[in-house]
Amino acid sequence: YIGDATKAHNKGGYDSGNPKHVLVPSLQSTLDYTVKIVHQTNAGLILYWGDDNMDGRYERTINPVNPTTGLTNPNIYLVTSYGSAAGANKEIKVEIARLPPITVPGALYVEAPTNILGNAKVFGMDQCGGANVPGVVTSLAADQVSTGPNSTVTGSSPPGSEDGDPPSIKPDAMNMDIQAMINSQKEAANFVYNVPSANHTGMNWGTPTPAPPPDSLQKPSSCNTKNIVYYNTWNGSNFTDIKLAGGTTGCGILLVEGDLDINGGFSWHGLVIVSGSVKYTGGGDKNITGGVLAGGSATADVIGGNTNIVYCSSAIGDQTEDQPLRNLSWMDKI
């Protein structure tokens, strides 16, 4: 409870003799209000906010721990504010929760035919001490992901793999709701660009520190910066694309509604989530520590350079742990 003891008792049922009731005095005395905060429940069970079925959509659950990943699902809190003025009363209820870590089933997730060519490398073995994942996860059949003679895809052996399935590529996966994942993050973006069919060069949203040699390109980078960068490529009729060129760098979550074309050097620490397709072209090293989720296809290294996607569980989990509580629902009760 937030307020004074008498009002908290009269409006919210505060009981000073109940060890589970905690009262925090208000910092002001002008407004006549009391706030009550409890765990949200259903049929006596505490509710949590998570993605237990790994489809990319957060939902209410009774599981404090995600049964698939073993990660903690945060509590849902029900906050009720009781206010009075001039003989009138108002009551507002809000459900709030922190966001759990974003669901990332593999170093690269795609929903359309994908080519891993040239010197491209995708590492699903967790370089940051967590559980290993497949290098590539697709909602299509295994033969819809092709690799070149010099490309590399490594990771855990997908459960239920059949003879003939490429190692470290998990086919026939659940179709994730990439748009829902973008929607859950874009309102918190601190960099927003509404630019159809644009070309941005040399963008800097943080500078990842590469791992020391040898094999620095195949090891995780590090970065303490946490930005959320959102690109909306809608042109009034349909989503288009954004091209990032000229040594773009960043740390945090990169959200793109549309297609993403990465041309030349590129370095990112965290997550890249794209509703359409991802294409890596041109020379220069292109390194992502964390993971890539694409609602379309991925074409890596079709012209030159080196493309590296290094799965890192902490680079993913760190992006949501310090975010503010989110409003899940609210009701104005007179």
What pLDDT, on the 0 to 100 scale, is given for residue 334? 67
Mean pLDDT score across all residues of the chain: 91
DSSP letters, 201-226, are ES-EE--PBPPPSSSGGGS--B----
Q: Could you give the angle at the alpha carbon of 283 between the alpha carbons of 281 and 284, nearest 5°?
A: 110
Q: Does the pLDDT of residue 304 top 80, yes or no?
A: no
Mean pLDDT of the region 139-167: 78
Predicted confidence (pLDDT) at residue 321 exceeds the cutoff of 90: no
Tell me the average pLDDT across 135-155. Answer: 92
How many Å is the Cα radius of gyration of the chain?
23
Helix then strand then coil, in percent of the chain rounded to 5, is: 10, 45, 50
Cα–Cα distance, 291 to 270 (Å, whole number) = 7
181 by DSSP, 3-state: which?
Answer: helix
Q: Give the mean model confidence (pLDDT) for residues 172-195.
A: 95
pLDDT at 159: 56
The label of the residue with tokens 């990943």 reads 69
Determine the residue type at 72.
Answer: T
Write down the residue that tokens 């288009």 correspond to. Answer: 240
pLDDT in tens, 260-271: 999 989 999 999
Token pair recorded at residue 8? 């908290």
Q: Check residue 8 and give its pLDDT.
A: 92
List, as one string, the DSSP characters of 120-137.
-EEE-S-TTSS----SEE
Q: What percent of the chain has pLDDT over 70?
A: 95
Q: Give the global pTM.
A: 0.89
**What is the structure's pLDDT at 302?**
59
Please say whether the beta carbons of 101 and 288 come within 8 A.
no
Instruction: Find the range with the poorest average confidence among 115-124, 128-137, 215-224, 295-304.
Output: 295-304
* pLDDT tier at 158, thresholds 50, 70, 90: low
> What average pLDDT does this structure show over 157-169?
63
Alpha-carbon torsion 85, 89, 90, 93, what sign? positive
Give the span between the Cα atoms of 237 and 179, in whole angstroms. 17
All residues at 6 or more sequence positions from 71 whose CB lies less than 8 Å from its CB, including other chains: 65, 100, 101, 317
The overall longest dimension of the chain from CA atoms, in Å, is 78
Q: Is the pLDDT of residue 87 over 80?
A: yes
Q: Read off the pLDDT of residues 210-265 as tens digits, 9 standing for 90 and up.
A: 998 877 777 999 999 999 999 999 999 999 999 999 899 999 999 999 999 999 89
Q: What pLDDT does residue 101 have?
A: 86
Identify the pLDDT of residue 226. Answer: 95
